[in-house]
Every structure is written in C-alpha cells, then in structure tokens.
C-alpha cells in the first residue's frame, strides 16, 4: 500500500500546475530584534550590492531582515526556529501567521506588490495556486535531493518543497462521551449517527487548510454525489464550524464540544497537555495535504531568504518537525513516529489527487458555503 501510494503521489505532484486552497497577523522575531504586531509593510529599498540569479532576479547579498508568511501553528514556530537563530543570529524575522485560507488569500491579494520574502509551512495546494499565478521564484534549496520526489515540485529549479504531511483525525473527549453513554466514533460513517447530533465541531474549509483537506478528502473518497450526500448528513450533527484547524481539538479538550474534527498531531498534543482526549484516525482513511515552503518572486531576492529555505529542510529542524508530524519529506535514521500514530502512517492517507482538489477548489468552497456556512462561528 505504502509503495503504491508513494508512486501515485509522485505522479500526481509531477503534473500538478493548478490552484488550491483564509485575521490575526502575528509578528515573531529573532533574539536580537522585535517585529510589528501588524505584520510586514512594504520594505524600504535596499542599498546592498545585488548579483544576478539564474532566473534573472537580483540577489541582495547583505539584507538581514526577512518577512515570512506561514500557516504553522503558533505554539510550534519558536521551537522550530532555535537552530536557525543559532546559525543566523543577525537575521531579523518578521512573521505574518494565520490559517491556510487567510494566508493564501493575502498572498494572492498582494500579487502585484508582494510583501513576503518567502512562505514557510503553507499547504502545497495553496502554493500550487501561487505558482499558477506566476508568484513563485524557482530555487532548489541545499539538500533538496534528500526530499522524497512526492514531496517537492518536479521543476528545476524547484518552485516549492514540502516538509511534512498532516491528516484528518477526530479528537474525542473520553469522559464526556462516557457521561453521555456514547461510544467513541471510529469512522466517517459513525459521525453521522443521530446520537452525535450537536456534539461535533469542524473547521470551515474556506478559512482552514484542515477543513479543506477533510472536505476534499471526503469528496474524493466517496465521489462527488455521495460525498455531498454524506456532508449533508454530517452537517445535521455539526454544532458549529470554526475558522481554525486546531480549535475543534481544543474544544474537545475542554469538553465544550466532545468531538472535534481536527488533525492528528493537535489531538496528540492535547492529550500530552493533560486533556482527557483520544485521537482517532478514521477507519476509511484520512484526507491530507503537505506543508511546504517557497520563495516569493520579487525584483530583488534576498540571499537570507534562500538561506532560510536551505535551513528549513535541514537535519536539525527536521527533528523538530518530527516531534509533531509522523510523515516527513526527508527520511533519515532519526525519523521516529510520534506517540499516538500507527507504525506506518502512510497507510492512513487515502489516495488524493491534489491537482483535482485544486482544480475543484472554487466550486467546492462555493457549494460548501451555500449548504453549510450558516453554522459557522462569526469571524473575529
């Protein structure tokens, strides 16, 4: 199964040139600098000497300030950055962080005046739509040959490179289910049983990458007609759609809503923090996407941005990714399976055509909004 899935993924991603997968902008910085809470504004013109790169953009060799757009979870970014700060202590990092849909929409809105220098940890399906719009600069990071083919762009130089995969999971509060006398759901089919009505939260796919990969996964697993029929039934049991992939896991942890459709690592983290939850990977398989990195196309490319992308697939940070994700783009002897995952998490991933998901994204989200958005929490 694993070998077949890897082969299929490689074929899919090799021929993918399509679009995909959206309020708080968070600024994070290195140990020596601070950044604005309002994200990054237009940077002043650099007077640093610039050389040429193979694609024609000028290379700024001296700038030590980067604007990084990311959809990585807030509580893991700083842990990931430790080895970067040790290697590049003079580089100031200004982060703009939000959910996948919001970051994707922001990047597209800034197409003609890009603010980001690079993207770190955004859904590959989002990077595909940016590439379709001519927004990515080709760059093959140092060590890209170590990245599995199904986790990176097939162009040379590469336009995006994956770091890990994340997948649909149910996060269930065990004591609350016991109080209700209900079994813990193990499958998508279980979730539509009438006894779970009003107990489930799920991410809105328009704003959350986890929501989108879950919906597109269901549609590809069941087919369009049966998939929408299933989502209609699931909607009857949904208490609320939220705008974060991790929020359903947190709501489950507190017991407010005992069943959260979220992603695997978040449920496992909730349990490690002491929440009485169990992370369930649906028996039918999980929808999934890749977290990936890319260089944003600009008139002048900063050498520091290329160095960041080199670092972002290096051995040290891969060890940190592996603390949160079972499936990494670079395999090594140090790769371990986090507690709570099966021995072979690749077998949990359903066959997904990312290009098909991207191609159908606009229709999928329009249809989903029409049918179910009335149950979404207000955006803040």
Residue positions forming the annotated binding site for Fe cation: 265
Which residue numbers belong to the known binding site? 265
Q: Which residues, listed in sequence order, are joined to residue 205 by a DSSP beta bridge?
A: none
Looking up tokens 């609320």, which residue turns up?
240
Residues with Cβ within 8 Å of 119's Cβ and at least 6 positions away in sequence, in order, are 68, 69, 70, 103, 107, 127, 130, 292, 293, 294, 296
Residues with Cβ within 8 Å of 138's Cβ and at least 6 positions away in sequence, in order, are 54, 55, 155, 156, 157, 158, 159, 295
Start-to-end CA distance of the chain, whole Å, equals: 43
Give the rounded distance of the alpha carbon of 354 from its chain centre: 13
**Are 280 and 249 contacting, i.e. CB atoms less than 8 angstroms apart?**
no
Tell me which residue of 81, 93, 95 sits closest to 321, measured CA to CA. 81
Listing DSSP states for 167-223 in one string gives EEEEEEEHHHHHHHT-PPP-SHHHHTSGGGTT-EEEE-TTT-HHHHHHHHHHHHHH-
């Amino acid at each position: 199964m694993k070998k077949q899935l890897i082969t299929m993924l490689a074929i899919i991603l090799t021929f993918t040139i399509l679009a995909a997968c959206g309020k708080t902008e968070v600024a994070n910085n290195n140990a020596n600098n601070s950044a604005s809470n309002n994200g990054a504004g237009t940077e002043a013109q650099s007077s640093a000497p610039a050389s040429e790169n193979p694609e024609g953009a000028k290379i700024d060799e001296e700038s030590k300030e980067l604007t990084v757009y990311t959809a990585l979870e807030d509580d893991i970014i700083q842990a990931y950055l430790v080895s970067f700060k040790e290697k590049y202590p003079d580089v100031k990092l200004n982060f703009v962080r939000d959910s996948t849909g919001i970051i994707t929409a922001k990047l597209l809105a800034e197409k003609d005046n890009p603010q980001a220098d690079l993207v770190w940890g955004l859904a590959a399906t989002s990077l595909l739509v940016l590439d379709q719009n001519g927004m990515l600069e080709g760059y093959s990071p140092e060590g890209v040959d170590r990245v599995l083919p199904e986790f990176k762009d097939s162009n040379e130089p590469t336009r995006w490179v994956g770091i890990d995969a994340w997948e649909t999971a149910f996060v269930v509060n065990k004591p609350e289910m016991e109080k209700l006398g209900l079994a813990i759901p193990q499958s998508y089919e279980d979730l539509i049983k009438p006894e779970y009505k009003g107990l489930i939260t799920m991410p809105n796919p328009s704003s959350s990458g986890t929501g989108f990969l879950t919906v597109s996964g269901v549609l590809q697993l069941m087919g369009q007609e049966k998939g929408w029929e299933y989502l209609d039934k699931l909607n009857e049991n949904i208490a609320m759609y939220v705008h974060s992939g991790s929020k359903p896991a947190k709501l489950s942890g507190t017991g407010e809503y005992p069943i959260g459709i979220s992603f695997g690592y978040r449920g496992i983290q909730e349990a490690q923090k002491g929440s009485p939850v169990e992370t369930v990977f649906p028996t039918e398989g999980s929808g999934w996407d890749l977290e990936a990195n890319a260089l944003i196309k600009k008139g002048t490319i900063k050498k520091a941005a290329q160095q960041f992308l080199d670092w972002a697939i290096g051995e040290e940070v891969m060890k940190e990714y592996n603390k949160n994700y079972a499936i990494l783009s670079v395999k090594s002897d140090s790769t371990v399976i986090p507690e709570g995952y099966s021995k072979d998490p690749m077998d949990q991933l359903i066959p997904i055509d990312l290009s098909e998901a991207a191609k159908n994204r606009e229709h999928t989200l329009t249809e989903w909004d029409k049918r179910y958005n009335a149950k979404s929490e207000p955006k803040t």
